[in-house]
Homo-oligomer: A and B are copies of this chain.
């Protein structure tokens, strides 16, 4: 009825392109905090559109949801990022991107050095470099090469 009652989850989904289930999941992960209307349905602030945009972009940069949550919480007052906040955050994004590009480039250069070599030796091959793998993949599914599980 009232015009400023907030957005329904469906409207938010349509506007962001996210699935309704994804939005509920993000709430469960603490990324957004809708309130409930009389009937128990979620209602979202218009600022959540921007908040979700931020989430989607940060995911492209390879951040996990917990990391994104922390970045959102790190904003003064826990507010949605403003223009000024964004400039600060992007610097961090840029560093992260630069690091990933550097890692991949090094990997490629090693590969170039190895083409035609064919050694694939565990001791000598420059391609076999667990450190870089860890750097690029963030933390993989479970154990990284170099961890020491049993059996």
Residue numbers of A with Cβ under 8 A of B are 15-21, 49-50, 53-54, 56-57, 59-61, 81-87, 90-91, 93-94, 97-98, 100-101, 104-105, 107-108, 111-112, 114-118, 120-122, 125, 127-129, 132-133, 136, 143, 145-146, 149-151
Contacts and interface: CB of A to CB of B under 8 A. Distances in A.
A108 to B, nearest CB: 5
A140 to B, nearest CB: 9
Q: Label chain A's interface by main secondary structure.
A: helix
Given A53-B122, A83-B118, 13 more contacts: A15-B122, A21-B151, A49-B122, A56-B145, A57-B128, A60-B107, A60-B127, A60-B129, A81-B120, A82-B118, A86-B117, A86-B118, A97-B107
Contact of A120 (B57, B111, B122): B57
